Amino acid sequence: MAKKVTGGCACGSIRYQLLDKPMFVHCCHCDDCQRLTGSAFVLNAIIETQAIKLLRGKPVAVPVPRENGPHEIYRCPRCQTAVWSDYGRRPNLRFVRVGTLDNPGALKPDVHIYTRSKAKWLKLPKQTPSFRDYYNTSKLWPKASLKRLNAALGKTES
């Protein structure tokens, strides 16, 4: 990455640096994300676990029951800020909460997902793809990001 991207929790106990650019950025409007964040959506930057360098502290994994499978939110043990998530027990991937970056405005969403449950007052930009549910990753992600994703998931290219 050309520029250092750093972030942390609200109290400063957790500090981290992204060692690579995110593979893709989701803006998720599902009911679960709305409930878990207390907001209209969550903005997650998807990146390999190894590309996150902890500079200070260690977040704790908090399991969250979900209908569609396991989910862990990694939180600061002191202030409880959610810094990233693991959706579905994929130890090599993290969904970093963009709002915890020191410059959260530097990352914009690549896609809006689960828009069937988005807030009615929220207008989405026409230039950003949006889907009522999920989408076909292989059709939307850049090739370099797909290669990184497959490597993180232990998949070989066919």
The domain locations on the chain are 5-147
Q: What is the pLDDT of residue 49?
A: 97
CB atoms inside a 10 Å sphere around CB 19: 14
Q: What is the pLDDT of residue 1?
A: 54
Name the 3-class secondary structure at 74: strand
Alpha carbon of residue 53 to chain centroid: 16
- What CATH number belongs to 5-147? 3.90.1590.10
Q: What is the pLDDT of residue 87?
A: 87
Q: What is the pLDDT of residue 35?
A: 92
Average pLDDT, consecutive stretches of 10 residues, N- to C-terminus, the chain (158 residues)? 86 98 97 93 98 98 83 97 91 96 97 97 97 96 97 79
Q: What is the pLDDT of residue 2?
A: 55
Q: What is the pTM of this model?
A: 0.93
CB atoms inside a 10 Å sphere around CB 66: 13
For residue 11, CA distances in Å to 76, 96, 112 come to 9, 17, 30
Separation of alpha carbons 131 and 112, rounded Å: 6
